[in-house]
Amino acid sequence: MEEETGTLPPKSAFSEWYNELLWRAEIMDVRYPVKGLYVWYPHGFAIRREVYRILREIMDREHREALFPLLIPASEFMKEAEHIKGFEDEVYWVTRGGKAELDIPLALRPTSETAIYPMYALWIRSHADLPLRIYQVVNSFRYETKHTRPLIRLREITSFKEAHTVHATWEEAEEQVRKAITFYREFYERLCVPVIVSRRPDWDKFPGADYTLAVDTIMPDGKTLQIGTAHHLGTHFSRTFQILFEDKNGEQKHAQQTCYGISERSIAALISLHGDDRGIILPPDVAPIQVIIVPVIVGKRKDEILAQAASLATELRGGAYRVQMDNRDLRPGAKYYYWEMRGVPLRLEIGPRDIDAGVVTAITRDGERSVLPRINLGEKVRDTLSGFEVRLREKARHRMEDGITKVTSLSEIPPALEKGIAIIPWCGERACADKLAQQSGGDVLGIITDTGKSVRKEGSCIICGEPAIPTLMGRAY
Amino acid sequence: MEEETGTLPPKSAFSEWYNELLWRAEIMDVRYPVKGLYVWYPHGFAIRREVYRILREIMDREHREALFPLLIPASEFMKEAEHIKGFEDEVYWVTRGGKAELDIPLALRPTSETAIYPMYALWIRSHADLPLRIYQVVNSFRYETKHTRPLIRLREITSFKEAHTVHATWEEAEEQVRKAITFYREFYERLCVPVIVSRRPDWDKFPGADYTLAVDTIMPDGKTLQIGTAHHLGTHFSRTFQILFEDKNGEQKHAQQTCYGISERSIAALISLHGDDRGIILPPDVAPIQVIIVPVIVGKRKDEILAQAASLATELRGGAYRVQMDNRDLRPGAKYYYWEMRGVPLRLEIGPRDIDAGVVTAITRDGERSVLPRINLGEKVRDTLSGFEVRLREKARHRMEDGITKVTSLSEIPPALEKGIAIIPWCGERACADKLAQQSGGDVLGIITDTGKSVRKEGSCIICGEPAIPTLMGRAY
């Protein structure tokens, strides 16, 4: 087996670092012969499995998973006017089956409202059927004409988790949108990814929504990445698709709906925020391999060392850790390079001196070295991993906080955007937002809120001087 | 909540039973507005989760999961001549993105050889990269012009598990095909689904394969359902896609390949083989709910009974059972009907008399009733479930054995096919197979073998009298 050579560009050159990291850490292969479509390497896919296991754990508490078809007939897709307008330039169309033209073209779902809601119209009859909370994890398609980027701007979104809920009242749907944000906050907390939530301006909301809340994070280059959205759909779709229910008084009413989604952008954030010049860094919870054991082999005690390493692996697996032992015929340095690149949280080295001293040498992926007693190692490993996770989360949180600047004048915005997000006072009018964007080079992301409700006024709009609401500006991906 | 009413057609009317069961047991909704596309209900999807958890467990032992794009450019898809011929009538083509015609039409994968192998050509350089064993679980598409049927003949196969392996020699690939069959045998053993393996005749092999092994089962109507295949691809694709490796002597060689797959037909077999007039029956291993607890409520002791039922649920969950308690406001009979329809292996009833006697009443889905002591109930539940599983497996195995008849003359074939599979002596010539098919109304499925190797000759061909090989005939779905 060849040793890997070459180094990653420094993380300060983020874009180059990201592109190079994807293949060196074996996350995605970008050489697939269609623009915007990528291949998940086994290691990348193993990370995806852990990330989506966590997402499912959270969703399963109050949703049920289902699965709807990919192909949506043009007749259904074209029913909701705003929705069509929002997606018509981005939809892939299947027009041929075998050698025949199809009677009705079929859209590859860009999102599944128009696939799911005709079924909801059949499923929902009475208030007793509500609330209905379902999600699916599917591939979705956007014919992106902009620059595509692995995990971030894709033509095949391979990992779209979309939830679709139905409620009796507008307020209950509003409450569900608020809860969606708490689910996503918890999810990202477990990925050690800090987030900030805002309500998108009306011109930037989901096509067919009453309003949209969005979860953003700040990437290492200071740009913001939208990594989750939650939409109050009101009755836009239930009127179009005739989703009616009989309420307690026997009256027919249009249902209130929400939808909310997360994609593999969550993994883009995960690897971008935590990685360093040596590769990716994975929180233990999502690491396919949490502990890599490297036997440090010295000629004549080889068998003994390998046996000790193997018994260590067995013991830790029994403690429910995901453990692998690297007994390839490579220099230790090459092994360290290999597993650091792939983000393994903890490396345990065991050599003749460790055995003689009854210890194991532990090195976390952020470089903390300690010597752990061999006895009851499982507990020490737990403490070491949990300390590492806390450091990872705190470090990311501090960087995020450093990237957010409160400003009160136009001239302060560009330097704030260089670092990340500017919190500005804005009146809520589009004309002012457009001027802010033009004059600062950033975008109005939305007003700060976790609930969708307008927050209290504070300060005056930088542009027009009217009473303002604290608002996020950033340079969006 | 309304009680469910109406009954299932008897299983003896298999086709009606199957169609009605799918929605009554909440497996699939067939009302999606495109032919051949169906919706997984949450309960059906939960069964799918358990089934594919088992499949992944087995695959993960010596494969790694990855994920390749759905869309295959026409230029790649059209490279391998036999492969094209096998699929050209069945491929869906994407020809438009937004409002623009695409430069190159994109195929929705009917199977992924032509998506994966261009990448393998990049990944594989040397003998040290072999064997390579990868699988993915994906949606795949066939523009079926025949009669479509949920889980069995689909336009969107939602759950295609396909493995693709690469080896240095033809013999190693042959060994991998043999192992694939052992994986599939183990998988179906865990689903309590009996199978029979054969080598398909050359005219029925996978387009681009040296040979194809297939796993069949006998459905309740006596027809055979192919529920798994494994193909030795030889160098058909490695020559087309230039998958070369340097062997130990430094020579460039074309790699030897295999692929093997399983789809949601596994779930069609699962529910068809075990179900009865009252609904589906699930082996405990794949049941999303293994134990349903039904409190039998008598007015004045209601709180006590509910508390006892809840503590029972908690205790069993602690024993790692998947348990649900049904405290809906329905008659007990309606609850029994509901959970029997959905296949729950074990129902525990707890009422005032059970509490007074320190027992719980247990009824397995196949109707065995027992009274279990409340103390250490977890162990008793394990025994009860495991006894139930053994009965289910044995019953299905016996029915399969009863469905297979060894015959030596033409006139015996039609009655054998009525029951299921006929084992016949056949010489291996297509002309004789065609005559057999014409004269008996069945199809030659293939010669009996688990390894791909020809088995010893036995008897003489029913048609031409030449030395013959034991061969399966059936009426295939």
CATH at A306: 3.40.50.800
Nearest CB to A37; choose among B48, B69, B90: B69
Preceding omega of B9 cis (within 30 degrees of 0): no
Torsional sign, CA B327, B333, B336, B341: negative
Q: For A253-303, what is each residue's pLDDT tens digit?
A: 999 999 999 999 999 999 999 999 999 999 999 999 999 999 998 778 999
Q: Are B350 and B460 part of one and the same domain?
A: no
pLDDT at position B85 is 85
Distance to chain B for A122, nearest Cα, Å: 9
CA separation (Å) from B393 to A428, B194, B274?
Answer: 66, 8, 9
Q: Using H for helix, E for strand and C for coil, what is the string for chain B? A: CCCCCCCCCCCCCHHHHHHHHHHHCCCEECCCCCCCCCEECHHHHHHHHHHHHHHHHHHHCCCEECECCCEEEHHHHCCCHHHHHHHHHHCEEEEEECCEEEEEEEEECCCCHHHHHHHHHHHCCEHHHCCEEEEEEEEEECCCCCCCECCCECCEEEEEEEEEEEECCHHHHHHHHHHHHHHHHHHHHHCCCCCEEEECCHHHCCCCCCEEEEEEEECCCCCEEEEEEEEEEECHHHHHCCCEEECCCCCEEECEEEEEEECCHHHHHHHHHHCECCECCCCHHHCCCCEEEEECCCHHHHHHHHHHHHHHHHHHHHCCCCEEECCCCCCHHHHHHHHHHCCCCEEEEECHHHHHHCEEEEEECCCCEEEEECCCHHHHHHHHHHHHHHHHHHHHHHHHHHCEEECCCHHHHHHHHHHCEEEEEECCCHHHHHHHHHHHCCEEEEEECCCCCCCCCCCECCCCCCECEEEEEECEC
Average pLDDT, chain A: 95
Q: For B17-70, what is each residue's pLDDT tens digit?
A: 999 999 999 999 999 999 999 999 999 999 999 999 999 999 999 999 999 999
Whether residue B46 and residue A65 make contact (CB cut-off 8 A), yes or no, is yes
Whether residue A69 and residue B34 make contact (CB cut-off 8 A), yes or no, is yes
**Chain A residues with CB inside 8 Å of B73's CB?**
33-34
Token pair 């909440």 is at which residue? B26
Instruction: Please check the confidence at residue A5 and state whether its pLDDT lies above 80.
Output: no
Whether residue B34 and residue A1 make contact (CB cut-off 8 A), yes or no, is no
Q: Are B263 and B317 part of one and the same domain?
A: no
Residue B283, CB-side half-sphere exposure with 13 Å CA sphere: 28
Average pLDDT over residues B103-120: 96
Question: What interhelical angle do B265-274 and B14-24 show, nearest 10?
Answer: 110
**Chain A residues with CB inside 8 Å of B41's CB?**
66
Whether residue B286 is contained in a domain is answered as no
| Interface test mutation site (partner B, options A29, A34, A47, max chain B beta carbons within 10 A) | A34
B94 CB within 8 Å of a chain A CB: yes
The three-class DSSP label of residue A186 is helix
* Domain end (from B214, B241, B274): B274
Instruction: Name the pLDDT band for B5 (thresholds 50, 70, 90).
Output: low
Nearest CB to A42; choose among B49, B65, B108: B65
Is residue A233 within 8 Å of A114, Cβ to Cβ?
no
Q: For B147-161, what is each residue's pLDDT tens digit?
A: 999 999 999 999 999
pLDDT at position A3 is 52
CB burial of B369-391 (b: ≥16 within 10 Å; e: otherwise) equals eeebebeebeebbeebbeebbee
d(CA A15, CA A188): 23
Compare all CA atoms of chain A with the CA of B36 and give the residue at the minimum distance. A69
Q: Are B317 and B416 part of one and the same domain?
A: no
Cβ count near B52 (within 10 Å): 19
pLDDT at position B418 is 96
A29 CB within 8 Å of a chain B CB: yes
Residue B344, CB-side half-sphere exposure with 13 Å CA sphere: 24
A73 CB within 8 Å of a chain B CB: yes
Nearest CB to A68; choose among B39, B64, B65: B39
B98 CB within 8 Å of a chain A CB: yes
Q: Are A260 and A310 part of one and the same domain?
A: no
Token pair 């589906």 is at which residue? B280
Cβ count near B128 (within 10 Å): 11
E strand or H helix that includes residue A230: strand A224-234
Among the listed residues A472, A452, A449, A469, the one whose alpha carbon sits nearest the alpha carbon of residue A461: A469
Instruction: Please check the confidence at residue B454 and state whether its pLDDT lies above 80.
Output: no
Among the listed residues A348, A263, A233, the one whose alpha carbon sits nearest the alpha carbon of residue A52: A263
- Which tokens in the block code for residue A404? 């957010």
State the burial class of residue B438 (Cβ atoms within 10 Å of its Cβ: 0-12, 13-18, 19+): exposed
d(CA B339, CA B282): 11
pLDDT at position B287 is 98
Whether residue A64 and residue B49 make contact (CB cut-off 8 A), yes or no, is no
**Chain B residues with CB inside 8 Å of A37's CB?**
69, 71
**Chain B residues with CB inside 8 Å of A118's CB?**
32-33
Instruction: Please check the confidence at residue A366 and state whether its pLDDT lies above 50.
Output: yes
Compare all CA atoms of chain A with the CA of B23 and give the residue at the minimum distance. A123
Domain of residue B314, residue span: 291-384
Instruction: Name the pLDDT band for B456 (thresholds 50, 70, 90).
Output: confident
Q: Are B127 and B226 part of one and the same domain?
A: yes
Nearest CB to B156; choose among A64, A69, A118: A69
Q: For B167-208, what is each residue's pLDDT tens digit?
A: 999 999 999 999 999 999 999 999 999 999 999 999 999 999
Q: For B343-358, what is each residue's pLDDT tens digit?
A: 999 999 999 999 999 9
Average pLDDT over residues B275-294: 98
Whether residue A4 is contained in a domain is answered as no
Average pLDDT over residues B321-347: 95
Q: Are B298 and B236 part of one and the same domain?
A: no
* Domain end (from B384, B419, B438): B384
Token pair 């008084």 is at which residue? A249
Amino acid at A288: P
Chain A (38-57) residues lying within 8 Å, Cβ to Cβ, of chain B? 38-42, 45-46, 48-49
Beta-ladder partners of B472: B423, B446
Q: Are B98 and B247 part of one and the same domain?
A: yes
Q: For B61-109, what is each residue's pLDDT tens digit?
A: 999 999 999 999 999 999 887 888 888 899 999 999 999 999 999 999 9
d(CA B31, CA B23): 10
Whether residue A96 and residue B99 make contact (CB cut-off 8 A), yes or no, is no
User: Which DSSP state fits A61?
Assistant: T
d(CA B420, CA B220): 9
Strand-pair category, A369-373 with A359-364 = antiparallel
Is residue B350 within 8 Å of B309, Cβ to Cβ?
yes
Q: For B230-257, what is each residue's pLDDT tens digit?
A: 999 999 999 999 999 999 999 999 999 9
Instruction: Please check the confidence at residue B2 and state whether its pLDDT lies above 60.
Output: no
Whether residue B106 and residue A34 make contact (CB cut-off 8 A), yes or no, is yes
Instruction: Please check the confidence at residue A225 and state whether its pLDDT lies above 70.
Output: yes
CATH classification at residue A153 = 3.30.930.10
Q: For A77-101, what is each residue's pLDDT tens digit?
A: 998 878 888 888 999 999 999 999 9
Beta-ladder partners of A301: none
d(CA B364, CA B402): 25
User: Using alpha carbons only, how large is chain B's radius of gyration in Å?
Assistant: 25
**Chain B residues with CB inside 8 Å of A114's CB?**
none
Average pLDDT over residues A370-394: 96
Distance to chain B for A325, nearest Cα, Å: 16
d(CA A315, CA A321): 9
d(CA A463, CA A308): 69
d(CA A375, CA A145): 58
First to last CA, chain A: 39
d(CA B198, CA B452): 8
Token pair 């002012």 is at which residue? A432
Instruction: Please check the confidence at residue B427 and state whether its pLDDT lies above 90.
Output: yes
Amino acid at B25: A
- Which tokens in the block code for residue B265? 């037909």
Is residue A165 within 8 Å of A254, Cβ to Cβ?
no
Q: Are A265 and A325 part of one and the same domain?
A: no
Q: Are B348 and B221 part of one and the same domain?
A: no
d(CA A31, CA B64): 20
d(CA B3, CA A257): 26
**Chain B residues with CB inside 8 Å of A97's CB?**
91-93, 143
Count: domains in chain A: 3
Whether residue A33 is contained in a domain is answered as yes
Distance to chain B for A6, nearest Cα, Å: 18
**Chain B residues with CB inside 8 Å of A29's CB?**
119, 122
Nearest CB to B45; choose among A49, A67, A76: A67
Q: Are A51 and A193 part of one and the same domain?
A: yes
**Chain B residues with CB inside 8 Å of A26's CB?**
none
Cβ count near B340 (within 10 Å): 21
User: Using alpha carbons only, how large is chain A's radius of gyration in Å?
Assistant: 25
Average pLDDT, chain B: 95
**Chain B residues with CB inside 8 Å of A155's CB?**
71
Is residue A472 within 8 Å of A448, Cβ to Cβ?
yes
Is residue A243 within 8 Å of A257, Cβ to Cβ?
yes
Whether residue A97 and residue B108 make contact (CB cut-off 8 A), yes or no, is no
Beta-ladder partners of B213: B199, B230
Instruction: Please check the confidence at residue A1 and state whether its pLDDT lies above 60.
Output: no
CATH classification at residue A429 = 3.30.110.30
State the burial class of residue B185 (Cβ atoms within 10 Å of its Cβ: 0-12, 13-18, 19+): middle
* Domain end (from A327, A356, A387): A387
Cα–chain-centroid distance for residue A474? 18
Is residue B368 within 8 Å of B267, Cβ to Cβ?
no
Instruction: Name the pLDDT band for A2 (thresholds 50, 70, 90).
Output: very low
d(CA B463, CA B433): 8
- Which tokens in the block code for residue B260? 């093997």
Whether residue A456 is contained in a domain is answered as yes
Amino acid at A381: V
Q: Are B440 and B332 part of one and the same domain?
A: no
Whether residue B4 is contained in a domain is answered as no
**Chain A residues with CB inside 8 Å of B130's CB?**
none
Q: For A423-445, what is each residue's pLDDT tens digit?
A: 999 999 999 999 999 999 999 99
Give the number of A-B residue pairs with CB atoms closer than 8 Å: 150
E strand or H helix that includes residue A121: helix A113-123
d(CA B347, CA B355): 16
Whether residue A280 is contained in a domain is answered as no
Is residue A241 within 8 Å of A117, Cβ to Cβ?
yes
* Percent of chain B with pLDDT strictly greater than 70: 99
Q: Are A369 and A410 part of one and the same domain?
A: no
Average pLDDT over residues A454-477: 92
Token pair 């406001």 is at which residue? B329
Among the listed residues B417, B418, B447, the one whose alpha carbon sits nearest the alpha carbon of residue B432: B447
Torsional sign, CA B322, B326, B327, B328: positive
